[in-house]
Structure 1
């Protein structure tokens, strides 16, 4: 009951905060020029050729299309699904926090830090696909972590498979967290087959010889292969019906577009090693309103949260190596997995918003580091307040409806490469 009430309050607060001024600007900005026309095309009585934006799966665009149908073909219709799923992502972080820390306070703190990291807020207020993939993936991670601690994880792992299938149905990057789960389960099963044991075994170890005694290989295949693949492919049925040839051809096009290296450069492109350090942001919008006022939206990340998060990740790594803690292990897995996966792709064009999933799960590392035994309880909440202060300071360049002066803009742009 308490969990449901808290989740509901977090959803309402996040939804209200992100909805304010979302219709500004009243024109397309940044990648809305790709996704909104593709969503409009889905509302046509008959799908015409060529299909717009064939390089991504359809679910996210279908959600935008449903919103346009419900709220009209305008800024609210384009952007409301992002608000909805951004609010759900905050709730999902809270549920992940409960599964990781088994306490309300740290879970709430994690959800607030994820909201205040600026990336989630900005990405929820633009008609792009990343926030949909993130929300579904976070719910799947929550189910996986909850199931990890149970003797019979079957149902929870199947629910995780559904979430990952829906995430991939929005954007293929949703597969990264699924791959993390597959690797974790495979490694644990391999160690069990080798009869691995720790000499000084502890209840909080990430690996135990007796973990999931009734979870067989076919359960693994169903939960982490059959279920996500079936859910993913089902997202194509509204477009292609039951035509296997058309659905397979759609996968070929997505694969080709997402693995090509023949992509031109972009003003705001950046490489994956730079993302945690917030070296190169993406300016989604920069409009001059009058002589001294601008309307701006930048995806940068809150330095007061995401820079200290790197220290917190290092603390998690130290604790996992030294004490084999399960919570530290899972935090590291879902931070590094969705982030370092980009290093393996042949794609040369990258943007800092690809760091969004890792930036969001970094809030767990911060909570972990700030709730250690040596830390007084008030330190965590003091840090949440600091994170909020950084978030509030960045609002003039996070929400276009606020507007700001060139002097404020200059103060916020600490480094030349942020411009």
Structure 2
């Protein structure tokens, strides 16, 4: 049997390749980067079960970072090991989603490639933050939802449970995943034209997601100081909502949701001397994929067929942030949308007539070239001097 006919093996190979890419020089920078100053201490507290920390967000991401620290130590590799694995899962889940949607391993492989080199996934896979885990669980949950919808009726139940588990885990990382639980429930309900059967899938999916979410709070019952009481979990959610919707002071890296697709205000996660050299980490997307993805999204929405799902997902993802009552927005909120843009590039290119399919390879070469071009300032590589960053500043707003 040819490799192209073994999608599960291909997905594993894709995940392994992505993990190698993300894990290379994972220990640089050798000091906390950007919001690692919040999440690494919170993971330490979780690992020691000492006290509540970073309580404005659910606990799962901090628990997973703590697992890496338990295995590899309280050091940069330990902080970032599980995020790197989450990045690899995101790439493999994107492959699975595209394969299930369009049935082409070629298109799925291009989608996986574009996710891996879209830079935002690469960067979030190399930092102990929340969004890399969010991308892994939501992309995996959507792939599992599609897998359930394509299964014979007798095999849908446990696949729906898997989708609920993954999407519930996404909510337990960041509440931004909650709309995708609702979307998955609506999708399985609408897919089965028998209302009772559809409810028999949608309700378990939602219940498993809720159970998974609350299960992640169990370790907090055992804190040495200020443990969470099980009967106080609902009140804790209210306090989390208040913390997340409070009015915050202006921030130099804040940006509006409508600007994220245009990549107008990336974020310097790090720019300072480290280990004797100047290093930088700029959260910025791959211009070919982020900007080209907008054309691809339009094409996916225009053409009848399964690719409309990807265009619809991107629209759904960006409209969520238009509706969420946040006083400040940041470019890393576009993480999921960037994944959908990468998938849209692969899906949109697959719509080309056979005589134009060479454009797939040309576009991939362009995207790889830009990834290599930006690599020094997305990977924390050694730079020549403190002003070296100007080489990559295409716009003043990128500084």
Give me the whole-angstrom Cα distance separating, in 1, the residues matched to 2:397 and 2:362. 30
Give me the whole-angstrom Cα distance separating, in 2, the residues matched to 1:12 and 1:20. 12
Residue among 184, 189, 192 paired with 1:181: 184
Give me the whole-angstrom Cα distance separating, in 1, the residues matched to 2:386 and 2:45. 39
Residues 1:342 and 2:321 are matched in the alignment: yes
Deviations 1:363-394 (A, max 9, x none): 22112221115253332122112111111100
Residues 1:32 and 2:36 are matched in the alignment: yes
Q: Secondary structure at the match of 2:197?
A: coil
The TM-score, its normalising length taken from structure 1, stands at 0.87
Give me the whole-angstrom Cα distance separating, in 2, the residues matched to 1:311 and 1:134. 22
Q: 2:19 matched to which residue of 1?
A: 15
Displacement of 1:132 after TM fit?
0.8
Alignment of 1:46-195 (within 5 A): 46-48=49-51, 51-150=52-151, 152=153, 153-185=156-188, 188=190
Residues 1:351 and 2:343 are matched in the alignment: no
Counterparts in 2 of 1:100 and 1:288: CA distance versus 1, 3 Å: same
Q: Which runs of 5+ in 1 are unaligned?
A: 190-209
Task: Find runs of 4+ consecutive structure 1 residues off by over 6 angstroms.
Answer: none
Q: 2:339 matched to which residue of 1?
A: 360
Give me the whole-angstrom Cα distance separating, in 2, the residues matched to 1:57 and 1:369. 36
Q: 1:219 matched to which residue of 2?
A: 201
Q: Secondary structure at the match of 2:365?
A: helix
Q: 1:203 matched to which residue of 2?
A: none
Displacement of 1:214 after TM fit?
6.6
Deviations 1:259-281 (A, max 9, x none): 22x11111111110000000000
Q: Secondary structure at the match of 2:248?
A: coil
2:298/2:311 contact within 8 Å kept: no
Give me the whole-angstrom Cα distance separating, in 2, the residues matched to 1:108 and 1:182. 28
Residue among 333, 347, 350 paired with 2:312: 333
Deviations 1:179-233 (A, max 9, x none): 32234455x37xxxxxxxxxxxxxxxxxxxx74677242432111x211000111
How many correspondences in the alignment? Answer: 387
Q: Which runs of 5+ in 2 are unaligned?
A: 223-227
Cα root mean square deviation, aligned:
2.2
Give me the whole-angstrom Cα distance separating, in 2, the residues matched to 1:63 and 1:339. 27
1:64/1:78 contact within 8 Å kept: yes
Residues 1:253 and 2:234 are matched in the alignment: no
The TM-score, its normalising length taken from structure 2, stands at 0.91
2:188/2:201 contact within 8 Å kept: no
Residue among 275, 282, 286 paired with 2:267: 282
